[in-house]
Amino acid sequence: MATVQDITSVEQFNELISNAPETSLVVLNFHAPWAAPCAQMNQVFSTLASQSTASTLFLAIDAEEHPDISETYEVSAVPYFVLLRNNTSLDTISGADPAKLTAAVTKHSNGATFALPPAQSAVASASEGPQEEEDINTRLGKLVAAAPVMLFMKGTPASPQCGFSKKLVALLREKEVRYGFFNILADDEVRQGLKVYSDWPTYPQLYVKGELVGGLDIVREEMENDPSFLQDLSA
């Protein structure tokens, strides 16, 4: 039986990946503490680990605490899962989809089968949901409220893809603000839809409690006028 190992450092992660036998399956779970779907999928992840052999590695990684690892595997949103063998990607799953994750682990486990309790099988994605039943405005409404402070940016905090995003990330880091993020370059539907949803044509965009604050200049102005701005929300 395998157990979930929580990654606490890049060095620990690299050592585990390097020492894994070439034939072993490695399953990575990128999560964030503020995202409810992650809490639900963490339970699914633990259940799958308990049904696997000890030779399979199940590694849980806080995507925000370890941005270098997140960037290596192009994590744009959480939860996000990567299946590896011999340090080669076999499959990726974005969002809270227990059935898809279970099927992927089964497929790459050399004949082993996995099953989830009904309660875990019914977990729905809070960030995506059934696309045929959920329109873009509903999806965006969930995304902007996914964390008390939510940043929509080009790239990731570890690797911003535009100067304004880079400066806003630096400002939030300087003020020690904890926030969720979404890489709009990884999802064109969100990238285009959010411009209309927010009536704000450029990026980055910062939301607080589901309400738009604005871009870099407005956030900087708010922080200058009120040094405690965002602090109580990011504790």
Q: Please tell me the pTM assigned to this model.
A: 0.61
Q: Which of 75, 92, 121 is the last residue of a domain?
A: 121
Give the span between the Cα atoms of 78 and 113, in whole angstroms: 25
Q: Are residues 9 and 93 in the same domain?
A: yes
pLDDT at residue 133 tops 50: no
Find the domain containing 61 and state its range: 4-121
Q: What is the pLDDT of residues 76-110, one digit of tens each?
A: 678 899 999 999 999 999 888 888 999 999 999 87
Q: Are residues 18 and 76 in the same domain?
A: yes
User: What pLDDT sits at residue 117?
Assistant: 67
Residue 175 lies in a domain: yes
Phi (first) and psi of residue 210, to 5 degrees: 80, 0
Q: Are residues 179 and 103 in the same domain?
A: no
Q: Which of 98, 121, 144 is the last residue of a domain?
A: 121
The proportion of the chain whose per-residue pLDDT surpasses 90, expressed as a percent, equals 48
Q: What is the pLDDT of residues 27-48, one digit of tens each?
A: 999 998 877 788 889 999 999 9
Q: Are 114 and 106 in contact (CB under 8 A)?
A: yes
Q: Are 29 and 60 in contact (CB under 8 A)?
A: yes
Residue 127 lies in a domain: no
Give the span between the Cα atoms of 171 and 104, in whole angstroms: 39
Q: Which of 88, 121, 154 is the last residue of a domain?
A: 121
Residue 131 lies in a domain: no
Residue 80 lies in a domain: yes
What's 71's domain CATH number? 3.40.30.10
Token pair 């969002």 is at which residue?
A: 95
